[in-house]
A and B are shown apart, each in its own frame.
Chain A
Amino acid sequence: MTFLFDLMAQGVQMLLVLALAPLLIGFIRKMKARLLRRKGPPIIQPWRDLIRLLRKEVVLAENASWLYRSAPYLIFAMTWVAASLAPTFATGLMFSWSADLIAIIALLGSARFFLALAGMDIGTSFGGIGSSREAMFGSLAEPATIMIVFTVSYIAGTTQLSEIAAFMAANLELRASVGMALVGLLIVAIAENGRVPVDNPATHLELTMVHEAMVLEYSGRYLALIELASALKLLLYISLIACVFFPVGLATHDADLHTMAIGLGAYILKLAIGGGALALFETSTAKMRVFRVPDFLGAGLMLGLLATLLVFVTRNL
């Protein structure tokens, strides 16, 4: 019976992240529009777009290969698996131990790998420009993430996300190292999700785009899958930040339904706060030049490194 319940909780989480991810995007767009004193499309709009895309015919470039056609499924699957293994409303779900924090980051790396390859498959110059820049951003963002992982795992003594969240919830205190790690992770999250100031998700201005350049040739269901995957990735980063740095209200896997419901409410509230903050940040900054991005990400890497060293110095491990 508990087995079934655990399995259901895991299943609920899988469907929950899938359902919430486009809503999060819709919420951010709405907030941005409101901040610019526009009305903006309804929050449900991204879902409508996705469903419309799924129903459309795919237009494939003449020389698209099997890699180009299977990549969207792989990218979506890898991102979805990563997003459903990170704690959202409860910790210690049935399969949460099958991938720890490092493995989740690496799963996103796999998705990036296939996305960048898909960008090069048609042989257009835009695809190449996007993939090349994505590879550069990735090679700086990944080590920065790993350093932040180091910081939190040195403090919590584990790389299991559920255990980290439980530890952080039990030992709530202000630490400089954790603060630095948070800022570092925010920088990485902005860059990894292609948000302003690194990339602009709303733009098709040719020479400034990174993510959009890679997926330029995609259409129909393939585009829908890729859009869904990028929404899931944004949701995953907000869940990560929420469960490591703000583990308030998280239920445990054996809690009763009431606590789970509270956890769910807290999670949705956290997503809304995260999305609102992102919208506020995006409306108040401008996009930076591509060759400024390494400095931006380098700051993230350095913050991670400093945080790690600070952990050693202050905690006398």
Chain B
Amino acid sequence: MPLYLALICVGALLAVSVYAIVQRRNPDISRNVYRLCIALCGVLFLAAVMPRGAHVVSTTLPLGLPWIGMHFRIDVLSAFFLAVVNLGGAAASAYAIGYGAHEKDPMRVLPFYPAFLAGMNVVVLADDAFAFLVAWEFMSLASWALVLTHHHEAENRRAGFVYLLMASFGGFALLMAFGVLGGVGGAYDFASIRESTKEAWKSGLILALAMVGMGSKAGLAPLHIWLPLAHPAAPSHVSALMSGVMTKVAVYGFIRVVFDLLGPPAFWWSVEPMTFGAASALIGVLFATIQSDLKKLLAYSTIENIGIIFIALGLALAFKANGLALPAALAFTAALFHVFNHSLFKSLLFFGAGAVLSGSGERSIERLGGLIHSMPKTAFLFLGGCVAISALPPLNGFVSEWLVFQAILLSPSLPQWTVKLLVPAIGVALALSAALGAGCYIRAYGVAFLGRPRSEAARVAQDPDRWSLGTMAALLALCLLAGLLPSLLIDTISPAAKDFVGGRMPAQAELAWLSIAPIAQSRSSYNGLLVFVFILFSAYSAKWVIHKFGSSRSRRAPAWDCGYIEKSPTTQYTASSFAQPIRRTLGVIAFSVRERLDMPAPGEMRAARLSVDIKDRIFDYLYAPLTRAVETCASGLNILGLLSIQEYLALVFGALVFLLVLVAI
């Protein structure tokens, strides 16, 4: 029943796409499309959470390849991700009812938006390689079209090109991965892939290909370069979907292949996700810290969070390989918890960035400031998102990071020295990225929302419409709920952990005071609700005491600033000056910086200039040589276009013989 409902909704989403094209002259079309999307996402969400009767529900539809059809299936994992996708989808659609009204050319968004949602849903439901890959590519192409919404700007066209290139590269890697998984027998439905046995070298190859394929979509370093270009280029509600939801679909794909299809893991599988996860977390957050474009900053921070998720998944693999069911369940739960959290607060933050963009017309925080006065409601909601993503108690971001730390602290139980010593190092990277993340959001919020307005646009900016504000408020409420009552979410994830890593965390909802204790109370526990109540109680009792016995008078006066405040708002700390200490001390990990100071000679009247040139090392050392190599090969192969007919025939014959020999071996 839930599966059919879900598939009908997916069909309906595609129909909405067609409806958008047919009704393109209708002035209400934008609103109608988004309303339909909310309704369909809502039903899909219900289909995900409703009781399924059987543990696993599957079906085959006569679509796609003849005689074989397409297989679909819902199990606990796909149900979880279905819920995440459609929660994000419904939120983005609700936000877009207001935000989409600003769109100059709605026909560049409306037909692709429901199709994008449908594509993500089918990926999660697919139960054979064919359906998975078709849906995957469908999702990529629909989002590519959305990235190109504002195609008049050259920067966006470049983003679209890089995205398409990386998406096809990733898709190619996935094709190979499923090819190796299916083997020569061509077993392409997941059930028979699960049955088949895989040799060690094959598993390693599949793991690497899955890392490349899923990692490129999720934004894992060093395959992340398209993400900070493409995500911000789309309209903000689509950016939220791409960053908050589509990256999670990639995480789902990784879990499906590595934890499910690939069979029982070996301990060395964990090394790859952990190291690349740690690298992504650090690189992502360092680049986020130096960005001045608000949406780019958020996109880089997505890379960081994906890194954290992959660290947790790697830990789960390491524990699972050694039969440590409880720690594996803890790490796996941490990963899924962070998936859920990130989909909430990243959507919230992108909506906030969209509100700032439509309210002031500015994306660069260097020209903003003081928005807390002109956009008070957005400022409050955005602050909530910043606290949540900076992993600060009592909001939800902290809970998932705390769970990851608890999993890291169980590493002494691992028998292999490689992993045992690797894990604390990963822990440093995680701690460093968490702390830098907080700094990054202090900077983003402080420069954009606090202080004095740096431009007229920032001074007269206005809060967005009620739909946008309502959606952001709902997401913040969910963040708070997940932070205060994490036990509910952990217990929801627990069946998935049981199926995929073979263990489950102790039931949390039964613990006293609704606290969480991953292993045992004597080992570690945390209670968000109590901490929150304590903070409120302390703050209010302090306020009460002070107002009763002290003074409650206040008076407004010009700022002091040690005696004299310069009137020009440009004398405030800018975003780049804020980031300078971090850039100098830690930046060398990720990028090379060249500062040039142009000092006028004594007596000369022109101003001094400081220019900072930041280069991405990954781009310089990995992609630039790659592009050069491709160019060299391409120009080398040019001569093949100028052969005579005899030479062509000889070439074809030779290739045929070579391939036959290969097959024979």
Residues of A within 8 A of B (CB): 51, 54-67, 73-74, 76-78, 80-81, 95, 97-100, 102-103, 106-107, 109-110, 112-113, 116-117, 119-129, 131-133, 135-136, 138-143, 146-147, 150, 153-154, 157-160, 163, 204, 206, 216-217, 220-221, 224-225, 290-291, 294, 301, 305, 308-309, 312, 317
Docked pose: A159 CA to B383 CA in angstroms:
30
Whether, in the assembled complex, B313 has its beta carbon less than 8 Å from a beta carbon of chain A, the answer is no
Can you list 20 A-B pairs with a CB-CB distance of less than 8 A? Answer: A60-B554, A62-B557, A63-B370, A102-B405, A102-B524, A116-B442, A120-B446, A126-B561, A128-B577, A131-B442, A132-B578, A136-B585, A143-B435, A147-B427, A150-B409, A216-B560, A216-B562, A220-B551, A290-B581, A305-B428
Docked pose: A102 CA to B390 CA in angstroms:
15
B391 — which chain A residues lie within 8 A by C-beta? Answer: 106
B387 — which chain A residues lie within 8 A by C-beta? Answer: 110, 113
Q: Is the CB of B383 within 8 A of A67?
A: yes
Among B446, B521, B577, point to the contact of A117 (Cβ < 8 A). Answer: B446
A54 — which chain B residues lie within 8 A by C-beta? Answer: 546, 549-551
Among B443, B543, B559, point to the contact of A135 (Cβ < 8 A). Answer: B443
Docked pose: A54 CA to B554 CA in angstroms:
12
Whether A77 touches B553, Cβ cut-off 8 Å, given contacts A61-B558, A97-B515, A100-B525, is no
Whether, in the assembled complex, B176 has its beta carbon less than 8 Å from a beta carbon of chain A, the answer is no
Docked pose: A153 CA to B559 CA in angstroms:
47
Closest-CB distance, B456 to chain A (whole angstroms): 16
- In the A-B complex, list the 5 residue pairs whose CB atoms are closest, starting with the nearest: A128-B573, A123-B451, A317-B412, A54-B550, A120-B446
Docked pose: A216 CA to B527 CA in angstroms:
35
Q: Chain A residue with minimal CB distance to B534?
A: A81
Docked pose: A59 CA to B559 CA in angstroms:
9
New A-B pairs, 11, CB < 8 Å, besides A76-B538, A128-B451 = A59-B557, A61-B558, A77-B534, A81-B534, A98-B526, A103-B398, A116-B442, A120-B573, A128-B573, A217-B560, A317-B412
Q: Is the CB of B421 within 8 A of A73?
A: no
The secondary-structure label for the interface of chain B is: helix
B402 — which chain A residues lie within 8 A by C-beta? Answer: 102-103, 106
Give the residue among A57, A106, A119 with the most B Cβ atoms within 10 A: A106
Docked pose: A107 CA to B424 CA in angstroms:
22
Docked pose: A238 CA to B359 CA in angstroms:
48
Whether, in the assembled complex, B606 has its beta carbon less than 8 Å from a beta carbon of chain A, the answer is no
Among B432, B439, B569, point to the contact of A123 (Cβ < 8 A). Answer: B569
Whether, in the assembled complex, B434 has its beta carbon less than 8 Å from a beta carbon of chain A, the answer is yes
Among A55, A124, A290, point to the contact of B572 (Cβ < 8 A). Answer: A124
Q: Is the CB of B531 within 8 A of A139?
A: no
Whether, in the assembled complex, B522 has its beta carbon less than 8 Å from a beta carbon of chain A, the answer is yes
Q: Is the CB of B557 within 8 A of A109?
A: no
A138 — which chain B residues lie within 8 A by C-beta? Answer: 435, 438-439
Q: Is the CB of A131 within 8 A of B578?
A: yes
Q: Is the CB of B573 within 8 A of A131?
A: yes
Whether, in the assembled complex, B420 has its beta carbon less than 8 Å from a beta carbon of chain A, the answer is yes
A109 — which chain B residues lie within 8 A by C-beta? Answer: 390, 392, 435, 438
Whether, in the assembled complex, B539 has its beta carbon less than 8 Å from a beta carbon of chain A, the answer is yes
Q: Is the CB of B450 within 8 A of A121?
A: yes
Closest-CB distance, B401 to chain A (whole angstroms): 8
The residues in B between 362 and 400 inclusive whose CB is less than 8 angstroms from any CB of A are 369-370, 372-373, 376, 379, 383, 387, 390-393, 398
B406 — which chain A residues lie within 8 A by C-beta? Answer: 159
Among B420, B531, B536, B552, point to the contact of A312 (Cβ < 8 A). Answer: B420
Whether, in the assembled complex, B591 has its beta carbon less than 8 Å from a beta carbon of chain A, the answer is no
A110 — which chain B residues lie within 8 A by C-beta? Answer: 387, 392-393
Closest-CB distance, B164 to chain A (whole angstroms): 36
Q: Is the CB of A77 within 8 A of B542?
A: yes
Docked pose: A123 CA to B163 CA in angstroms:
39
Docked pose: A112 CA to B438 CA in angstroms:
9
Q: Is the CB of B556 within 8 A of A62?
A: yes
Q: Is the CB of A60 within 8 A of B530?
A: no
- The number of chain B residues with a CB under 8 A from chain A is 90
Docked pose: A133 CA to B390 CA in angstroms:
18
Q: Is the CB of A97 within 8 A of B535?
A: no
B538 — which chain A residues lie within 8 A by C-beta? Answer: 76-77, 80-81
Docked pose: A224 CA to B539 CA in angstroms:
14
Among A117, A143, A305, point to the contact of B450 (Cβ < 8 A). Answer: A117
Docked pose: A152 CA to B447 CA in angstroms:
38
Docked pose: A159 CA to B372 CA in angstroms:
39
Docked pose: A33 CA to B393 CA in angstroms:
39
Among B421, B435, B573, point to the contact of A142 (Cβ < 8 A). Answer: B435
B67 — which chain A residues lie within 8 A by C-beta? Answer: none
Q: Chain B residue with minimal CB distance to A99?
A: B531
A147 — which chain B residues lie within 8 A by C-beta? Answer: 424, 427-428, 431
A124 — which chain B residues lie within 8 A by C-beta? Answer: 559, 561, 565, 572
A98 — which chain B residues lie within 8 A by C-beta? Answer: 513, 515, 525-527, 530-531, 534
Q: Is the CB of B525 within 8 A of A97?
A: yes
Whether, in the assembled complex, B523 has its beta carbon less than 8 Å from a beta carbon of chain A, the answer is yes
Q: Chain A residue with minimal CB distance to B572?
A: A123
Whether A217 touches B559, Cβ cut-off 8 Å, given contacts A109-B438, A136-B439, is yes
Closest-CB distance, B42 to chain A (whole angstroms): 34
Among A78, A128, A153, point to the contact of B409 (Cβ < 8 A). Answer: A153
Number of A-B contacts (CB under 8 A): 278
Whether, in the assembled complex, B134 has its beta carbon less than 8 Å from a beta carbon of chain A, the answer is no
Give the residue among A123, A143, A163 with the most B Cβ atoms within 10 A: A123
Closest-CB distance, A213 to chain B (whole angstroms): 9
A291 — which chain B residues lie within 8 A by C-beta? Answer: 581, 584-585
B536 — which chain A residues lie within 8 A by C-beta? Answer: 77
Docked pose: A136 CA to B452 CA in angstroms:
23
Docked pose: A141 CA to B387 CA in angstroms:
19
Q: Is the CB of B427 within 8 A of A150?
A: yes
Docked pose: A172 CA to B421 CA in angstroms:
26
Whether, in the assembled complex, B582 has its beta carbon less than 8 Å from a beta carbon of chain A, the answer is yes
Q: Is the CB of A139 within 8 A of B438?
A: yes
Q: Is the CB of B452 within 8 A of A63?
A: yes
B638 — which chain A residues lie within 8 A by C-beta? Answer: none
Q: Chain B residue with minimal CB distance to A123?
A: B451
Q: Is the CB of A62 within 8 A of B431?
A: no
Docked pose: A143 CA to B372 CA in angstroms:
31
Closest-CB distance, B290 to chain A (whole angstroms): 13
Q: Is the CB of B551 within 8 A of A309?
A: no
Whether, in the assembled complex, B104 has its beta carbon less than 8 Å from a beta carbon of chain A, the answer is no
Whether A131 touches B446, Cβ cut-off 8 Å, given contacts A73-B543, A109-B435, A216-B562, is yes
Q: Chain B residue with minimal CB distance to A213?
A: B562
Q: Is the CB of A142 within 8 A of B526?
A: no
Whether, in the assembled complex, B594 has its beta carbon less than 8 Å from a beta carbon of chain A, the answer is no
The residues in B between 253 and 292 inclusive whose CB is less than 8 angstroms from any CB of A are none
Among B369, B539, B578, B580, point to the contact of A73 (Cβ < 8 A). Answer: B539
Whether A100 touches B573, Cβ cut-off 8 Å, given contacts A57-B553, A124-B559, A133-B581, is no
Among B370, B438, B554, B584, point to the contact of A59 (Cβ < 8 A). Answer: B554
B573 — which chain A residues lie within 8 A by C-beta? Answer: 120, 125, 127-129, 131-132
Closest-CB distance, A32 to chain B (whole angstroms): 25
Among B450, B524, B539, B584, point to the contact of A159 (Cβ < 8 A). Answer: B524
Q: Is the CB of A58 within 8 A of B578?
A: no
Q: Is the CB of B531 within 8 A of A103?
A: yes
Q: Chain B residue with minimal CB distance to A79?
A: B538
A154 — which chain B residues lie within 8 A by C-beta? Answer: 409, 412
B446 — which chain A residues lie within 8 A by C-beta? Answer: 116-117, 119-121, 128, 131
Closest-CB distance, A134 to chain B (whole angstroms): 8
Whether, in the assembled complex, B586 has its beta carbon less than 8 Å from a beta carbon of chain A, the answer is yes
Whether, in the assembled complex, B19 has its beta carbon less than 8 Å from a beta carbon of chain A, the answer is no
Give the residue among B390, B524, B577 with the most A Cβ atoms within 10 A: B524
Whether, in the assembled complex, B445 has its beta carbon less than 8 Å from a beta carbon of chain A, the answer is yes
Whether, in the assembled complex, B555 has its beta carbon less than 8 Å from a beta carbon of chain A, the answer is yes
Among B439, B442, B539, point to the contact of A76 (Cβ < 8 A). Answer: B539
**A-facing mask of B493-514, CB < 8 A → 1, else 0?**
0000000000000000000010
Q: Is the CB of B562 within 8 A of A62?
A: no
Docked pose: A236 CA to B424 CA in angstroms:
26
